[in-house]
Structure 1
């Protein structure tokens, strides 16, 4: 649009029924991609060949200052048509006999898609040009609100000006005072809009987001029906549809799962959608991998309200309507078949993979006929549950061991019970896999012991147990952590306790350590990949001050002198942190320290080990039982005599840990 003469002010009017804008704009279009899709659909109906969406930069996003702009090269509007057509809420353009532009079937019908902008912003500026004039009007949702039950005609300030080129046409919607705290992700919006519009629409109208055309999310399909293109099919009621479906080799995002139903080039049923059979169909776990598109224009062929089978926000078809029953029944049948066939394919692939492994095949063939058939069924079930191929052979090995070792035979019945639940089935086999290194089921006492220690830890927090204790029989946090280092963090390995900083530096070969420095840390841990953590613990009743934080900061700085790699910090206390808001935020924003409480540590340990309760009942997975058998004796001692170690036990060193990072590195 070229420059023009000065604008002439002009008032426009809009009739608003009580709370209409709130219900039809603000509340209805809560999904930002759905709201923008409505504005793109309006551009299609206006005959646009290009729509440009401009989003704020996520790195500098400010919702009060930034704008979202949707600009198209469609027919545009004069001031008269803007008043008579655009500013009439609920105008049915089809019933009104509005002509199609460029031979396109209009997507809109209800006349409220224009309000979708209020799902993203408080203010919507409409700037449109046609026939040598440029018209502008601004709609502010706060100024358009009316009490429930009232019908008011409101005045909208606007302007009209002439433009030199009478052939210019188009519309630009500017959304400001944005509602959402986070910025839209441009790439994600491109994928979501591509999912909402048919390929034919995208072929006739270029849709750009920040200068890049919308594009399908990258999906690697292991199976597609048909291999290319779409299938055209006639339903029993005579209506015609086109469709395709495929299965990804990896779990799909929610937006990509299931079918999207497209009507007149635009979404009428948003994903994930499986015609309601996902919880009942054989192989229902395959829904996370199934994607597809159905185009069914007959769902929106009419012009009157009675022929409308699609929700106002274009998110759902009214599947209870008898006129869509043929499509619903067809969809239920097709989805069941697709999931069943996918399950069968994956199961056959799993059986072949095992059969192609000489060791597994030999062991499978050595089983008696009944056991062999049952084992093959279990292996097929693993494949049908989309088990990672790299894990499949390890889990198949576990299934074979269940037959080969008599102590596991009673678990065959358990596998039979859970085979129809893919997640529980795989978890159960993982459980058996973890048990293969244990000599006896009695080792499960370790599991119960760990849960009891977590419970004891909680009671010590409640009872305000001291950091250390001077005599036998007194619980104290330091000795509990020393006996059971996994309480701090199941992923960390504690290396040492109560060591002078200078001694630690000398061990690392740092000869310049200050001999007069007598400061010592509580614990030093390894968190993987050579990253060390110096840990300072405080009694449950101690509230950490800024001086405490400066102290551990000095510890870390001294340890960094040895150039051993990254050294971070962790402080654990029970009564919080006596820091000002600014100081607290400053420390929290640092990426080299964690400000923790005993309650948080307990919650993390409980979360990590709580599933062991179910291990005792035999229905969840666990692959981390290694190196636990020696815990039993010490567990009983702590639970009966308290968390206190004498000099002899202290000389033995730290208790068992779940993961040996040093061994991993070696």
Structure 2
């Protein structure tokens, strides 16, 4: 036979790319060893960690001399091609596929010693990273590990031991961290699967994952996944739900699709901070295949940015991703999945749908809880109760969004305060629709703009002033007409601030008002015709703790001090008598609104003397024109001063403008 014309050769340098420099952490590397033990039908795996050495011993079937050379040391040996996809003793689905996992050991150690025994026959060898590198530099294609004498193999019955020395990674803290991380990387550890893994003699258990107790809500897939509920904290887990885990995968080149079942769970933590675990971030959904971690985090494939995503954690078991007669879907480091494979795309679409459902439910559940927690504060509960039905709904929505956040108690109380102030400010502006723009993500920034009570009061007062100026404008429009008395009568009693800015509104005192009216009617009946012609109206009001008699004189009537005192004194005396009868010692003021200057007001000096004389008797005289113009000047000055300074009002205006633009 003629010698082959062509020949392909493999340089040992390929080992660097296939595994020696592919892994970066101890748990990932040791996971490959544990997976090999599973494939070897081991029932016990013991990992011993020392400062300068890691030893992994299992009681699997071990290896013969031929197995070592033809399988273990054969880089790229595909077990599922040459053997069945299930183990002989326990019928386990094997995890290994590419035959390069053992190379990962050199990521954390320079020296790897392998001891093994099968049917009483012992074999062993030592591999050195330095010697492999030396062969690589020489361009070699073969590396010969150093053999161990049979006496150096400290094993009995059956099994394999791997000893890692000259460690590259510090492992002083690896024991505690490794237990947790191995528990998270495998779902087949424990008596249920007849597979026990120990670290420094302590068994690794599912509870070592150390995250189930953090869950507030849980969605699990398939009846077999109901078991995860028992690992959660019953007092913290507030909601759990069974979901269907059926996935349809299109069969390339054929009509129809294959239906697959996934199991596992997706949950949300009570607080997003609960998912911070030292250097680890638990805010991810891992994909498990054949009981071993295959994808670190499928959430990375989504651009979803809702607040709820910060609380997500999960573990989806999708064995259909690894079927013996289909192409390998895993990347070389066995920690990720090829993203454009139809099987993975189908899984991703299914996860996307589940996330939509979880987002909706999480938002509703957290809102309900947030409202319930907020209303445990009596002041907030009363505030909500006092609102009308529509505004109650908006207030509850606002409080619910606060409930979605993870806050310390003092932070939550502060946000409640800011939110109530924001609500009231927008409510007064009749702009509660602006609350629709608030989400759980921006509520803190939004309501912080309303944190300054002075600013809130300024914003509200700004609105009050604008409304009052409208009233004043109405009066000014009628100032020269013959209906001014009627217009003032219509507005004055409902807007006592025209007489005094401090008199915001009248206090309702029906019984007192009726008694005063009766007393005033008796006095009116005794008035002369001239006195009746000179008056337009008289009213009693109570405001700011003061009893006020308001008399409107005809705008054309000219009076003097003595006439005015004589007329109003009767009403004041009657009112004071009524107050004495009910044991009330409260101030009484009489305000007379006139259209013409009093006869004594011939010059500023005489006017001031008259004013003081009347004030001593609790009487104040206000001219119609001065009433209007004084009020206008007072409020217009405030408007000019605060229009630019009031940031809150500007913010509200901006929101309204934005709403108008999007309509």
CA distance in 2, matches of 1:30, 1:323: 28
After superposition, the Cα gap between the structure-2 partners of 1:75 and 1:91, relative to the gap in structure 1 and judged at 3 Å, is same
SS in structure 2 at match of 1:124: strand
Cα distance in structure 1, aligned partners of 2:60 and 2:281? 29
Matched, 1:122 2:110: yes
**Structure 1 residue 16, shift from structure 2 partner:** 6.5
Q: By how many angstroms is 1:37 displaced?
A: 0.6
Bigger fraction of residues in helix: 2
Please give the alpha-carbon distance, in whole angstroms, between the structure 2 residues aligned to 1:322 and 1:295: 17
Contact 2:287–2:317 (CA under 8 A) maintained in structure 1: yes
Kindly report the root-mean-square deviation, in angstroms, between the aligned alpha carbons of the 2 structures: 3.5
Please name the residue that 1:50 is paired with.
Answer: 44
Larger Rg: 2
For each residue in 1:387-444, what CA deviation from the matched residue of structure 2 results, as whole angstroms up to 9, or x when unmatched? Answer: 4566434412221122345899799898765x3462x4334435644x34889999xx
Of the three residues 73, 81, 88, the one matched with 2:67 is 81
CA distance 1:182–1:289, change in 2 (3 Å) = same
State the 1:354 CA deviation.
Answer: 2.1
TM-score (normalised: structure 1):
0.56
Counterpart in the other structure of 1:246: 267
Larger RCO, structure (CA 8 Å, separation 6 or more): 1
Is 1:235–2:247 an aligned residue pair?
yes
1:353 aligns with 2:373: yes
Change over 3 Å in CA distance of 1:50–1:166 after alignment to 2: closer
- Cα 1:207–1:617 change in 2 (3 A) is farther
Output the CA distance in 2 between the equivalents of 1:143 and 1:153.
11
Show the counterpart of 1:224: 218
**Contact 1:126–1:174 under 8 Å retained in 2:** yes
User: Secondary structure of the residue that 2:227 maps to in structure 1?
Assistant: coil
1:169 & 1:163 partners in 2: Cα distance?
15
Residue 447 of structure 2 aligns with which residue? 429
Aligned residues: 414
Q: TM-score, normalised by structure 2?
A: 0.56
- Is the partner of 1:48 in helix, strand or coil? coil
Distance 1:321 1:48 in 2: 32
CA change 1:50–1:75 in 2 (3 A) is: same
Equivalent residue for 2:33, pick from 29, 34, 39? 39
Q: Which moved more, 1:314-323 or 1:341-350?
A: 314-323
1:110-509 paired onto structure 2 within 5 Å: 110-145=98-133, 146-147=135-136, 150=139, 152-161=141-150, 168-181=157-170, 183-199=172-188, 203=192, 204-214=194-204, 215-220=208-213, 221-226=215-220, 228-229=226-227, 233-236=245-248, 237-250=258-271, 251-253=274-276, 254-271=280-297, 273-274=298-299, 276-277=301-302, 279-280=303-304, 284-303=306-325, 307-367=327-387, 372-388=392-408, 391-404=411-424, 417=437, 419-420=438-439, 422=441, 424-429=442-447, 432-433=450-451, 435-436=452-453
Unaligned 5+ segments in structure 1 are: 1-14, 443-615, 619-666
The unaligned stretches of length 5 or more in structure 2 are 1-8, 229-241, 249-257, 460-645, 649-663
Cα offset for 1:176? 1.3
Q: CA–CA distance in 2 between the matches of 1:16 and 1:137?
A: 23
SS at match of 2:125: strand
**Equivalents in 2 of 1:260, 1:69: separation in Å?**
28
Note the C-alpha offset of 1:151.
5.0
User: In the alignment, what sits opposite 2:82?
Assistant: 96
Deviation at 1:376, TM superposition (A): 2.6
